[in-house]
Amino acid sequence: MSDYDFDLVIIGAGPGGYEAAFDAAASGMKTAVIEKDKVGGTCLNRGCIPTKAIMHSSDIYRDASAGAAFGVDVEGLSADLDRIIARKNQVVETLQDGILARFKKENITLLQGTGVVKDGHTVAFSPNGDGEEPRDVTADKIMVATGSHPFVPPIPGADLPGVMTSDDLLDISGPVPEEMVIIGGGVIGIEFATVFYDLGTKITIIEALDGLLPTMDKELGRSLKMNLKKKSVDVHTGASVTSFSKDGDKIAVAYKEKEKEFVVPADVVLVSTGRRSSTAGVFTDEFLEKHPDFMNRGQIKVNDQYQTQEPSVYAIGDAIGGIMLAHTATAEGRNAVAAMNGKKGEIRMDPVPSVIYTSPEIAQVGLTQDEAKEQGIKIKTRKFPMSANGKTVIEDLGRGYIKLISREEDEVLIGAQFMCGRASDIVAELAVAIGNGLTVQDIANVIHPHPSFVEAVMDTARL
């Protein structure tokens, strides 16, 4: 029998932490999870789920507003932001309850409070509230899955009321803002731009880099910019914000673009300039002094088994950097538990699909053209316009395309980027194809349903 309290203690109950806990319990490990807030982490409480719940409401409002073009007239249409947020909270609570029920079913101990790693087998636990005394919790293995938080650059006036991070915006109340300025043209900024544009807000996007979606295929960013401008969203790339200041009931956002200075008013400003690993305070100073090579710029360093410099301490998800996505953290957590039990992780970490929930949706998986060329891979590309897809025309989704990238020598699919309806679902087919080394012909030779968005994948492969 182990001398430790647990076989595994996980710090953080986000998707990486709670899925790892489920796998650990299933493998017979006595498991505890320490969480200082609510279970579900960023994804469930401040990210994927709440944003998509709000977006579902804005999608309904957008479709109802456009009903006349489809022969459906709607009178008295309005968007109640407080009710939208209340429904979002209901969705989140339902899923939280599901995780808690699973913890109970799997006999996973949930410790509500803060955990600090003291050594390879000891976590100092400080419970929330006054009813329980702090104590040390011991374990054979420790996993750190503490996620990330929004990064706010040091812009003068960033602390003004109405200047928000994505965390703040998810709990916004009152009427729908008339004007919103979004700082950052990455995934988070673009998704909130989609939500509030659909609810009737005038949107201005200011991005410091030369294009939108800088971590994705350049053509996706260009196509998105054209779509947004067509909708009268004011997009400024290669522009930098210099200050926020109060101007009556508005916030004046000053920015510089092409050496000229401009000011745009806003009721709400969203600062969506990236995220940083939440690792501060997770380890004692003494622990870090004994492990001088433990961290790199706030991110925990791990090997291919997710072990840190201290072999009994593992780390996954946003805490180690890399691709900061919920499904990446989940895969890493499950593979780390497999490694703890002397097994090889079965989940493939490449390719990783990425999705942006715009209208139409955007997704990519595998290599882009630029990445393939950088690796010296000779490629062939196929591109199909969604304007020729029946389902796209039926739903009037406008500009979009599917692009497949294959190796020139054998036509094996190595990448895909697309902007179309149901891209969040279609990307899974292409991830499976890339992960299993299928050729473009393999895709072309399989019957796809008609009419559908996904049949455009087959049409692209046949080009």
**Placement of tokens 């400003």 in the chain:** 269
Q: Are the C-beta atoms of 38 and 99 separated by less than 8 Å?
A: no
Beta bridge partners of 243: 254
Which sign, positive or negative, has the C-alpha torsion 87, 93, 99, 104? negative
Helix (H, G, I), strand (E, B) or coil at 296: strand
Please give the Cα distance from 4 to 122 (Å, whole number).
9
Please give the Cα distance from 257 to 153 (Å, whole number).
18
450 is annotated as an active-site residue: yes
Please give the Cα distance from 239 to 370 (Å, whole number).
24
Cα-only R_g, the chain: 24
Residues 6+ apart with CB under 8 A from 19: 330, 333, 334
Q: Are the C-beta atoms of 207 and 221 separated by less than 8 Å?
A: no
The token pair that represents 233 in the structure block: 């969203």
Measured from the Cβ of residue 446, the count of other Cβ atoms closer than 10 Å reads 13
Please, what's the b/e burial string for 158-170 (b: 16 or more CB within 10 A of its CB; e: otherwise)?
Answer: beeebbbbbeebb
Active site residue ranges: 450
